Amino acid sequence: MRIHHIGYLVKNIDKSRKEFEKLGFSVESQAKHDGIRSAYIEFLTNGDYRIELIEPDKNSDLQGVMKRFKNVGYHICFEVDNFDETVKNYQLGGYLLIQEPALAPCINNKRVCFLVGANTGLIEILEK
């Protein structure tokens, strides 16, 4: 299991990208619409570090988080070898599945799901 990225919820991808570029990040993949999550998503890297900028649509479930926190890092994504087993083990360990496994169009249509832990907050599990 390794960290794939840190997800940042942003009001405006273009403005946020410019600020992250000042911090040494460069675009790995241009903004693309994810219809499943109703958001535009773009990946940036700085050395071994990758961040995901997420700009939700007006109809996105993320609008509530956006209104409360504005621009904020809000999840860690872990890439795993055995997706189904990992998700099951986290649930058995007390994590609550808040989004069923679904394809991630912006990550080569790999499966992802989101879970929340009482002491860790939101995590994303990504199929390797």
pLDDT digits (tens, 9 = 90+) for 11-21: 999 999 999 99
Amino acid 64: pLDDT = 85
Strand, helix or coil for residue 36:
coil
Given a contact cutoff of 8 angstroms between Cβ atoms, the answer to whether 36 and 105 are in contact is: yes
Per-domain residue ranges of the chain: 2-127
Could you please state the CATH topology (level 3) that the domain comprising 2-127 is classified under: 2,3-Dihydroxybiphenyl 1,2-Dioxygenase; domain 1 (3.10.180)
Tell me the per-residue pLDDT of 55-102, one tens digit each, with 9 for 90 and over: 999 989 888 888 888 889 999 999 999 999 999 999 999 999 999 999
Task: Please report the pLDDT score of residue 66 as a whole number.
Answer: 84
> How much is the pTM?
0.93
Q: Alpha helices, DSSP H only, in the chain?
A: 13-22, 63-69, 83-92
